[in-house]
Structures are given as structure tokens and as C-alpha cells.
Structure 1
Amino acid sequence: MNRLSQGVKNLQKEAMHVLKLTSRTFYIPISLLKPTLKRTVASAYLCMRAVDEIEDHEQLDSETKQHLLRSTSELLKRKFDNDAYSQLLDPYKSLLPEVTIRLGEWITVCPPEIVDKIKESTSVMAAGMADWAEKDWYIKDKEDLDNYTYYVAGLVGVMLSDIWEWYDGTTTDRELAIGYGRGLQAVNILRNQEEDSERGVHFVPDGWTRADLFEYTEKNLAYADAYMKDISTRNILLFCRIPLALAKKTVKALQGGREKISRNEVETIVEEIKNE
């Protein structure tokens, strides 16, 4: 094996390591994918997580977030200039996590045939997040909630649909894919509602009760069920079913007054899906 290919292999291993540190929930289904899909979806997830960490950062002010996100969005629209990106982040490198700082490396992990799609989706996400930072994340109605959840999660569904189609021709409904992403994000909003409120962020539309938010979440998770009906590739289906099953179990736990599901419950759900 030559030095270049060994370097690529090492970077792929590092990507999976950072993925595990960044999101244990998504690490599980991604690690079960076949090699080409694993490499592609890991790269895509890390690219989107890189910009998401900027939007969520508690020590960066809104103007800084807007600047970083919009500038990153522009860099992703062409051949990625890692030096320019490094200069952009330089004043904030001590604050930003590894997954954000190494965005350029996650792009190189992705197969060249699909990388432009990944960059495009991540660029749109970063720009949308910047717009919501400018609005101070004030969500006044369902239309706003749909818009916000599209940029932070629905786009993940669209990007995954692009990957499935590139991989083996699997064609899925993009609107249902957006609903899948929205459903997962809505579960996060439910889980973190009190914590978000304490830090002055309100992702729930004016006048909505918690019951309204549960209804919104379950409606979008139903779209996720419909989304998977178009998928016949077992490996892709396995990937899609795990986050959805965990989300549904979390909704039930929240309705029962629990904050989250246990690690044991997660492991049980994953094993059941793997063995079906």
C-alpha cells in the first residue's frame, strides 16, 4: 500500500473516531454501513456537524456566528480553500471543536463523485443557520418551525437521499426525507425545551403547548415511516431504521416523564433491528 492510500485510510479511521466523539447516536448506524456508504455518510455527517457546532456554540455571539456560517457557505460553493477556511476560523480556534476545525479533511474523505452534493447541502445549511442566528432563533409560528427544522435537519434527509441514489439508484421522496429530518430535530427540541428556555432560546411557536409539539413531532416521524417504504437495499434500510426507532422510543419516554432513554435501551433497539 502506498503512502497516499495509507494516509487516506488513516483519515477515514480518524473520521469515524471523531464521529463517535461527536454523536454516539449516529455513529452506531453509520458504523454498520458497507465501506463505501460508511465513508460517504460519515463524511457528510461530519461536514454538517462542523457548521452545526458553530450555530450551537454558546460562547460565540450572533454576529460572529453569522460571519462564520455565511463565509463557510461561500467557501463550500467552489473548490474548498482550506487555507482560507483556516484563516477564517483562526481568531476562534481555541473555542471551536475539532469537528469544525477539520471540515476540509472531512470533505477529502468523501468520494469525489458525490462530494459536490455534500458540499452543496452543507453550504445551504450554513446559510440557513446564519439567517436564523440573525433572527435570534425566534420562531413565531409553524411556518417558522418548518423553515428552521428544514435547515438544521431536513437538509440531512435530502443529502442522504442524494447519497442513496448515487450509491445504487435507490430513489426516495425528498419531501418525506425532509419530514424524517424534521421529526428527529423535533425530538431534540422536546428533549431540550427546558434547557433551551433557560439560555433564552425558544424553538417552540408562540401559543403552542407541549402537546402541540408532540403532535408535530409524531406527524413528521410518520413521514419517516413512509420515506422508508421506497428503500429495498437492506444496508440503507438498517441505517434509516435505527435513528427512527430511537426517536420514537425517546418520544414515549418523554411522554412518560423521563428525560431520555437509557444506554441499555439503545443497545437493545439496535440489536433487535440488526437481527430482523
Structure 2
Amino acid sequence: MEKNLHKDAMKMLKLTSRTFYIPITLLEPKLKKTVASAYLCMRAMDEIEDHQSLDLRTKYYLLRSASEFLNGPFNNEAYHALLEPYKKELPEVTWRLGDWISLCPDEAVENVKASTSTMADGMAYWAQKNWEIKNREDLDDYTYYVAGLVGVMLSDIWEQIAGNKTNRELAVAYGRGLQAVNMLRNQQEDDERGVSFLPDGWSEQDLFTYAENNLALGEEYMKDLDNRSIILFCKIPLTLAKKTINALKSGREKMSRTEVETTIDEIVNERR
């Protein structure tokens, strides 16, 4: 049963993550299972926030309710009852939140649940505000909930399972940098759904600077890493983010698949 669930989780990761699937597969077995569980739990919430047809009130209701379910012993039946009216709209990764929680090793599951709960609560808050980012503080708050928090959770996992201590403030910056690059890459899609993550008075160049400054702090974060599989996990998305910035600045929408694959091969095969 557990073996089948692990296979399902890896298939779901491959379907839902362009950036993190390969880095997760490179982690040591226990780290791999833990981070796969955490990613899918958070992806389950992300799919609600980003859904094209759900209205803001429904997003708020589902995210806040899911956040509460994650605060205590997870009741899968009650969670399914919550989602039932929206089952046709929501993807499998969201419906199967209970499976992803059950995949997580016992020593990390409360951390993963608590982090996912906090993320869902923050997403609900910003959905209710229709993602109206007024200033730098708003941008920092939003990017904390959807990405910086992930960095902190991962740092907790690195320490708990691999004994690798890292700086939590730099972990937040690492996550923010990756998220800011996603914002830059997805600006056209966001515009089409009437959402802008640029604070009032900011230009696109300001967001590039925000992304680059946080990615630079992400480089500092990596200096604390001493586990090769964790180094690979963190280095691949960071390198892809920096190369994506270069592609965007040159007028391209994103890196090509060949460029992505070549970059990953170079990182995996380089000597430490």
C-alpha cells in the first residue's frame, strides 16, 4: 500500500512540477519521501488559489477551511465533504491531500501540516484581498506565505532528518527569489485574470531587482548546506531561476526545454 502511494506521489510530482520533480528525485530516500509529501500538500492548496473558475469567496472559504483541518488530526472524510461541491473543478492533487499527508514520515508530518496550514491561511487572506499588492511590505508578506514559508519548512526538514542547520532568514529569501521569478514569467497570464503583483509605483525592472536581490541571498543560504543531495535540490531551482531572468531580459518567455535539461545535467554531473 505504502509502496503504491509512493509511486502515485512521484507520478503526481512529475505531472505538477516542472521545476522540482527532478531535484526531489535526487534527494536521499527519507528526504525524498518527506519533501515529496510537503510539495504535494502545498501544491494541493496552490491549485485552489490559482484556479481559473472559482470565485474569490469560494477560494477564501476552501483555503481557510483546509487550513483549519490541517491544524489538528486530519479528517479526510470531512475534507472530502468540504471539496465535494467543487470536485469536478479541482484537480486530483487537491482531492488527495490526505494521501500526501499519510506519505510523510512521522517525525516530519506535524511540520509539513503546520506549514501547509499557514500557507493556506495566508493564501486565503490574499485571495480575499484579490491580491492587491500596494507596497513592498505587501509583496514581502505575500511571497512569504507562498514561497518563503516553504524555505523555512525545508530548512526544518534538512535539520530534522539530515542534521544540516541553515539560516532561516536566508531560507525565506531563497523562496522569495524563486517566487518573484515565477511572477515575472507569468505576468501575461496574471494580467489576463486581472491580477498584478507589482506594488504601486513599481516597474517591471523593480521586480527584476527584487528577484535578483533575493536570489543573491539564496546563494548565501546555500553556503550552509553540507549534504550533497540537499545541495543539488537547492542548486537546480536557483540556477534555473537565474537563467530564466536572463532569458526574460533578452525578450524570451522562458528557457527552452533543452536549456533546462542541459542545465540540470551540468549541475548533477559537476564535481563539488
Which AA in structure 2 matches 1:188?
N
Q: What's 1:138 paired with?
A: 132
Q: What's 2:62 paired with?
A: 68
SS at match of 2:223: helix
Distance in 2 of aligned mates of 1:195 and 1:134: 20
Q: What's 2:51 paired with?
A: 57
SS at match of 1:113: helix
Distance in 1 of aligned mates of 2:268 and 2:90: 35
Distance in 1 of aligned mates of 2:110 and 2:50: 25
Compute the displacement of 1:194 (Å).
2.1
Q: Does 1:194 align with 2:188?
A: yes
Which AA in structure 1 matches 2:38?
A
Q: What's 1:169 paired with?
A: 163
Q: What's 1:272 paired with?
A: 266
Equivalent runs, 1:207-218 vs 2, <5 Å = 207-218=201-212
Compute the displacement of 1:195 (Å).
2.0
TM-score, with structure 2 as normaliser: 0.98
* Aligned match for 2:13, one of 11, 19, 24: 19
Equivalent runs, 1:88-103 vs 2, <5 Å = 88-103=82-97
Q: Does 1:257 align with 2:260?
A: no
Which AA in structure 1 matches 2:153?
M
Distance in 1 of aligned mates of 2:60 and 2:189: 23
Q: What's 1:238 paired with?
A: 232
Q: What's 1:39 paired with?
A: 33
Q: What's 2:141 paired with?
A: 147
Q: What's 1:80 paired with?
A: 74
Distance in 1 of aligned mates of 2:194 and 2:140: 20
Which AA in structure 2 matches 1:52?
D
Q: Give deviations 1:161-212, integer Å, cap 9, x for gaps.
A: 0110111211111111010110000001101112211210011101111111
* Aligned match for 2:102, one of 108, 112, 120: 108
Distance in 2 of aligned mates of 1:219 and 1:178: 12
Q: Does 1:127 align with 2:121?
A: yes
SS at match of 2:186: helix
* Identical amino acids, percent of aligned pairs: 67
Moved over 2 A (4+): none
TM-score, with structure 1 as normaliser: 0.97
Which AA in structure 1 matches 2:163?
G
Q: How many residues align?
A: 270
